[in-house]
Structure 1
Amino acid sequence: MTPPRGQRTLRAKPEQEPQMARQPAPFAPFEWKIAWRYLRARRAEGGVSVMTWISLIGITLAVFALIATLAVRSGFRSDFVGTILGANAHVTVYNPGEYRENGQIDRTIPNYAEMAARVAEVAGVTRAAPLVKGQVMAAAQNRNAGVEVFGIATGDLAALPGITNSDRSYGDLSRFDQGIALGSGVARELGVTVGDRIKLISPNGARTPMGTSPRVNAYEVVYVFSAGRYDIDRTRVYMPFGEAQAYFNREGVADEIEVMVSEPERLDRVLIPILSAAGDGAQVWTWQDASGGFLRALEVEDNVMFIILSILVLIATMNIVSGLIMLVKNKGRDIGILRTIGLSEGSILRVFFICGAFTGILGTLMGVALGCLFAIYIDPIFSFVNFVMGGGVWDPAIRGIYALPAELRLGDVLKAAGLSLGLSCIVTYFPARRAARLNPVEALRYE
């Protein structure tokens, strides 16, 4: 039946389906607010704040110790390698030797100039210089010291960065042709300085019809260097190449060819070309061969120290577990109420995960800051410790270098921070998951 004009027809509207409650986004603001209130819990509420402070301090100290150790180890290796490369040959070319009529082995290089020129033309080689070497006794002012003499040309000596670029070196290297250069340890042992004269005594001196007599020559000290390594400064003396040939009876020959390369850490690329350029019978000895055992020991020690300190970080992060377990136990009633008013298991998990992870993040940041400050200001810190202990804390005669080095590397900092953050998040998940699975009925049964 059609309704009269002007009248409206009333139609029943279909029942609207109830809208599903939207789940909050992960790490919603209310989750951060609840976690922050739990982190600020007072001692009367179960001592949670005390455990939080213990966890925070433990992680801070563990990360600080890890970064400080890695920085010192990196600095020690860099300083050790730097002093080796700055004052020693990267590659040494020498002859295997030929037997003389008297049965002695002659290892000298007669065509040293041509060999050095050929080696210097190899791609990657920055310098090739002939050397004359010998061990003698130095004497001055009734003091004696055993030294190793290196006969080298003035230009080749000036090209050694560890000898010429040290702040502790002094004297006039341009006068090297008129005297000799001493290591600072030799100068201190003999009690001499620039301008003084010392005697060099060699048992293999002048040959006479009566036999070989010791050779004693006096030389003026024109330069005193400090290569940064105690064993070098304590034993090394540089002499002009021509004078060393005459002094050690090496007229017209050299003992070896000192080769410097542009990339001393990658010697494998240039060793074969150097051997080819040196000629048949030539052999090489690299700085890695001389110090390889020590460098490998440093590498093993680095790995072991990192593992040990990683365990220390793990122990520190386990305090987070203790604190969270106490927090979950004390907040069981709160968890039941939150679940009853609609919070999901995921929200409860994230609340307690924030509590633990925040402690780990803050402790990691504080540890990174302290570790970086320690590496940057290690010199004044070490000076203060040396002053408090009355001096003599660092003996260069034992450790080979004059100070405790530290080199802050981004990779070491990221490694320590990543380890701490990763462990903090991993150990936090399990007590947070336990809180999320807590049955609200059981939590509120006796309330």
Structure 2
Amino acid sequence: MSKLPFELFLGLRYTRAKRRNGFISFISLSSMIGIALGVTALITVLSIMNGFQHELRERILGMTAHMTITQEDGKLSHWQDLYQQLKGLEDIQGAAPNILEQGMLTYRGAVKGAAIRGILPDFENEVSDIANKMLLGSLVDLQEGEFSMILGSELAQSLGLSIGDKVTLIAPQGTVTAVGIVPRIKRFNVVGIFRAGMHEYDANLAFIHLSDAQKLFKYDQKVSGLQLKIDDLFRVGEVKQELANHLNQTLYVRDWRQQHINFFKAIEMEKRMMFIVLALIIMVAAFNIVSTMVMVVTDKQADIAVLRTLGATPNSIQWIFMIQGLVIGLLGALFGLLGGVLLALNIDVIVPFIETLLGIQFFPPDVYYISQVPSKIDWHDVYAVAGVAFVLTLLATLYPARKAAKVQPAEALRYE
């Protein structure tokens, strides 16, 4: 005798048994394949979206800090003292002062608005990756008092600038004269060009030395804020609380989530909608299980009647057919999980193969900043997909199983 409960034993046996009606077997197989394809597609698409989100987040945070500390008026005084206090904290990986203002750049009749960021090259490496994104020149070429500038690649291209050219910066902080307020104008020498891989930075950002920015924008010895880089960028909430407990002055902290909240919310919304849409594929396959199990119940009415006359309860009959449907669904989900994970892990090989085979390029590097399809598996997504597949399969078995439990032995055996 099998040690398995007879409901489980019969449910598994019915799953393996050959059908008198081959059409039922075909629908069972198609249901299993449908669930597998739905789960594979869902895991792959979510992994690709996670990859794009990770890639964009890395590019954004490669040019800006995780957190920025400032005062109520938007300016921070005595930043050196604050720097020494924060450097001793365990979660703080680096800190650097900066000045962020708007200005107008002109060169040979071309005019372009830009964000001007005053930095200290020796400190900036602690919070950003700008030094590794230089196309021409070096970050150390920004020297105090020399009024030099490093431009984004698209900004330099739009103005027609290259290394050694002199560009004019017009600052909105004007000088009061007898004839009115005159904008502050200063010529800067272009000493470097960077490419961050993000249009927001490449087309709108320029770096100058912090001391030059203080003179031009009338900051005296103040800065816009102190930028911080922490060990774990997802712990900004906890680090904020630690800073509030550690510092004995009123300061304002803004983190990377607040600075780019609309962007990352849009990505999360798109990911959520893709999950719902692709889950419909699994739902369609689950409905196939309903039709399969209804035909199985019709096909096995005589067996059900015999089991009932031998003492099987309606609840036992229900479990037999639920187990049979769950086996079909879970096998499909298992193959789908395996296929989805393998596909997501090898997307960097599969996509170039398809591009070579078809002779096309999905993301040309001259058009898109991200020219390769990134992929990053989030196991929480995998578990969520597996859970959805299981729940839909379970729901699909309920109606046929209840229908089987209601079969009356006398009615089923009347014409046998």
Is the structural similarity TM-score above 0.5? yes
> Which of 287, 291, 296 does residue 260 from structure 2 map onto?
291
Q: Which residue of 2 aligns with 1:19?
A: none
Normalising to structure 2: TM-score of the pair? 0.78
> Which of 405, 409, 431 does residue 400 from structure 2 map onto?
431
Normalising to structure 1: TM-score of the pair? 0.73
Shift of 1:416: 0.8
Q: Which residue of 2 aligns with 1:266?
A: 235
CA, structure 1 residues 368+343, in 2 after alignment: closer, same or farther (shift >3 Å)? farther
**Aligned residue type for 2:69:** V
Q: Does 1:26 align with 2:26?
A: no
Q: Which residue of 2 aligns with 1:212?
A: 182
**Cα distance in 1 between the residues matched to 2:399 and 2:308:** 19
CA, structure 1 residues 116+30, in 2 after alignment: closer, same or farther (shift >3 Å)? closer
**Cα distance in 2 between the residues matched to 1:35 and 1:435:** 16
Q: Is the 8 A contact 1:181 1:224 kept in 2?
A: yes
**Cα distance in 2 between the residues matched to 1:386 and 1:280:** 60
**Cα distance in 1 between the residues matched to 2:172 and 2:348:** 46
Q: Which residue of 1 aligns with 2:167?
A: 199
Which one is further off, 209-218 or 144-153? 209-218
Q: Does 1:225 align with 2:191?
A: no
CA, structure 1 residues 440+276, in 2 after alignment: closer, same or farther (shift >3 Å)? closer
How many residue pairs match? The answer is 408
What CA deviation, in whole Å up to 9, does each residue of 1:9-46 have, x standing for no partner? xxxxxxxxxxxxx78632676764443124xx47xx26
CA, structure 1 residues 91+330, in 2 after alignment: closer, same or farther (shift >3 Å)? same
Secondary structure (helix, strand or coil) at the match of 1:320 reads: helix
* Uncovered stretches (5+) of structure 2, i.e. residues with no partner: none
Secondary structure (helix, strand or coil) at the match of 1:89 reads: coil
Q: Does 1:136 align with 2:107?
A: no
What CA deviation, in whole Å up to 9, does each residue of 1:68-123 have, x standing for no partner? 343244334434443443322333232333xxxxxxxxx54443333433344455
What CA deviation, in whole Å up to 9, does each residue of 1:204-225 have, x standing for no partner? 4885856635524232333513
Secondary structure (helix, strand or coil) at the match of 2:203 reads: helix
Q: Write the mapping of 1:14-413 to structure 2, written as runs, cut at 5 A.
A: 25-26=4-5, 32-38=12-18, 41=19, 45=21, 47-97=23-73, 108-139=75-106, 143-164=110-131, 171-177=137-143, 179-190=148-159, 195-204=163-172, 207=175, 212=182, 214-226=184-196, 228-271=197-240, 274=243, 280=249, 282-296=251-265, 298-299=267-268, 302-303=271-272, 305-307=274-276, 309-310=278-279, 312-333=281-302, 335-336=304-305, 344=312, 352-379=321-348, 405-413=374-382
Shift of 1:149: 1.4
Secondary structure (helix, strand or coil) at the match of 2:376 reads: coil
Give the CA RMSD over aligned residues: 4.1
Q: Is the 8 A contact 1:231 1:400 kept in 2?
A: no
CA, structure 1 residues 176+404, in 2 after alignment: closer, same or farther (shift >3 Å)? farther
CA, structure 1 residues 251+35, in 2 after alignment: closer, same or farther (shift >3 Å)? closer
**Aligned residue type for 2:34:** G
User: What's the % identity of the aligned pairs?
Assistant: 26
**Cα distance in 1 between the residues matched to 2:296 and 2:303:** 11
Secondary structure (helix, strand or coil) at the match of 1:442 reads: helix
> Which of 416, 419, 423 does residue 388 from structure 2 map onto?
419
CA, structure 1 residues 165+352, in 2 after alignment: closer, same or farther (shift >3 Å)? farther
Secondary structure (helix, strand or coil) at the match of 1:47 reads: helix
Q: Is the 8 A contact 1:185 1:233 kept in 2?
A: yes
**Aligned residue type for 1:375:** A
What CA deviation, in whole Å up to 9, does each residue of 1:148-173 have, x standing for no partner? 1111111222223443456x866534
Secondary structure (helix, strand or coil) at the match of 1:406 reads: coil
Larger Rg: 1
